[in-house]
């Protein structure tokens, strides 16, 4: 896959495909906020759509990136 589209609560953004495709329940770190993967849809071998929601767990309160995938913009 070449890219993923992540649908955040406030809109969608496209990112380079990470080393590891996230799975449901994974944490993503983006712009200082932690998100939890709700679902993944593969549209073809070159693209996936990842639906996320804000992660409001205790780890988010600590603002920790530990265990979260960091996304890299396409540009």
Residue 39 structural domain:
3-61
In a domain, 56, yes or no: yes
Q: Is the pTM of this model over 0.75?
A: no
DSSP state of 60: H
Give the tens place of pLDDT for each residue, 34-67.
899 999 988 677 788 999 999 876 554 555 555 6
**What is the tally of structural domains in the chain?**
1
In a domain, 70, yes or no: no
> In the chain, which residue ranges form alpha helices assigned H by DSSP?
58-61
In a domain, 73, yes or no: no
DSSP state of 22: -
Distance CA 3, CA 46 (A): 7
């Amino acid at each position: 896959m070449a890219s993923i589209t992540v649908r955040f609560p406030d809109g969608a953004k496209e990112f380079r495909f990470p080393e590891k495709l996230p799975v449901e329940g994974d944490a993503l770190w983006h712009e200082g906020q932690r998100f939890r993967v709700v679902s993944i849809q593969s549209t073809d071998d070159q693209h996936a759509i990842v639906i996320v929601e804000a992660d409001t767990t205790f780890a988010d309160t600590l603002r920790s990136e530990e265990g979260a995938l960091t996304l890299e913009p396409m540009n």
